[in-house]
């Protein structure tokens, strides 16, 4: 009986971990930078997509894997970025893990 309880608890724990991992998605966002707000370790860029969606992109040296991957983007740049996307009630956010292109 004790082993059955342990097995059930383990299955419940594994289900919880898998469900939490699926809450964020890795996707790409492309669009024009409307504004930039500087922060301590990087900046947040407001990206407007062709579909008129707005994403707040958190760009930092740590999230990009080091200074060799970090780029200072400017207002008006057309960018494509990849990372973890999540949504709040009225905002879209992306934690950028890769800057794919800048024009």
Give the model's pLDDT for residue 26.
Answer: 73
Per-residue pLDDT band for 3 (boundaries 50, 70, 90) equals confident
Q: Which CATH class is domain 24-102?
A: mainly beta
Query: CB of 69 within 8 A of CB of 84?
Result: no
Residue 21 has pLDDT above 70, yes or no: no
pLDDT digits (tens, 9 = 90+) for 25-61: 679 999 999 999 999 889 999 999 999 999 999 999 9
pLDDT digits (tens, 9 = 90+) for 55-91: 999 999 999 999 999 999 999 999 999 999 999 999 9
Residue with the bigger pLDDT between 68 and 17: it is 68
Structural domain spans, the chain: 24-102
């Amino acid at each position: 009986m004790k082993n059955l309880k342990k097995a059930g608890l383990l299955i419940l724990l594994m289900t919880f971990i898998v469900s939490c991992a699926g809450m964020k998605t890795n996707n790409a966002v492309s669009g024009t930078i409307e504004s930039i707000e500087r922060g301590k370790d990087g900046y947040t860029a407001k990206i407007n997509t062709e579909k008129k969606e707005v994403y707040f992109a958190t760009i930092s040296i740590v999230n990009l894997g080091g200074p060799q991957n970090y780029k200072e983007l400017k207002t008006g740049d057309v960018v494509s970025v990849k990372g973890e996307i999540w949504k709040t009630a009225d905002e879209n956010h992306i934690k950028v893990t890769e800057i794919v292109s800048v024009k």
